[in-house]
Amino acid sequence: MSVISLTCIECPIGCALEVEMENGNPVSVKGNGCPRGKLYAENEVVCPKRVVTSTVRAKNGVMVPVKTDRPVKKSEIFEIMKKINQTTCELPVKIGDVLVENISDEANLVVAGNA
């Protein structure tokens, strides 16, 4: 049995988590202050995922904030960044508009702010 130490990134508290592993699978999580921390730790030791945030240049040059609407595999982040930087859009857009469907892992790229 081995133990993996993590910092929870679910909220600003940043709990120090300890995950007990057996045969590559998490068996227990310690240190989490809430249920979200347990879930984060269990996913993190198997397949870490992140929400990617970036910008897309609209056709008139204005930068539009965007994000993936769910966490995507950490290992795919740079692939996703490439796709984001090839994306453009026409204004106006509004928060939540989908710019790229299924950019990775069933996550869509959505508008995350007013341009």
Partner 1 sequence: MKNYYDIVVIGGGPAGLAAAIAAYDNGAKDILILEREERLGGILNQCIHNGFGLTRFKESLSGPEYAARFVDGVLARNIEVFTQTTVLSLTKDKKITAINTEYGVFTVEAKAVILAMGCRERSRGALNVAGSRPAGVYSAGTAQKYVNIKGYMPGKSVVILGSGDIGLIMARRMTLEGAKVHAVCEIMPYSSGLKRNIAQCLDDFNIPLYLNHTITRIEGDKRVTGVVISEVDKDKKPISGTEMHFDCDTVLFSVGLIPENELTKGAEIELSPRTRGAVVYQNRETLVSGVFACGNVLQVHDLVDFVSEESELAGVYAAKYVLEGAIEHDGVEVVNGSNIGYVVPQRLDKNIGGNVKLFFRVTNTFRDCTITVKCGDTVLLQRKKKIVVPGEMETLLLTEAKIAQTNGKIEVVLEENV
Q: Cα–Cα distance between 48 and 76 in angstroms, integer? A: 10
> How many chain residues bind partner 1 (CB under 8 A)?
29
The amino acid occupying position 73 is: K
Residues 56-95 vs partner 1: string with x where CB under 8 A?
A: -x---x-x-x-x------x--xx--x---x---------x
Compare residues 30 and 57 and give the one whose CB is closer to partner 1.
Answer: 57
- Binding region for partner 1 (CB under 8 A): 6-12, 14, 16, 50-55, 57, 61, 63, 65, 67, 74, 77-78, 81, 85, 95, 112-114
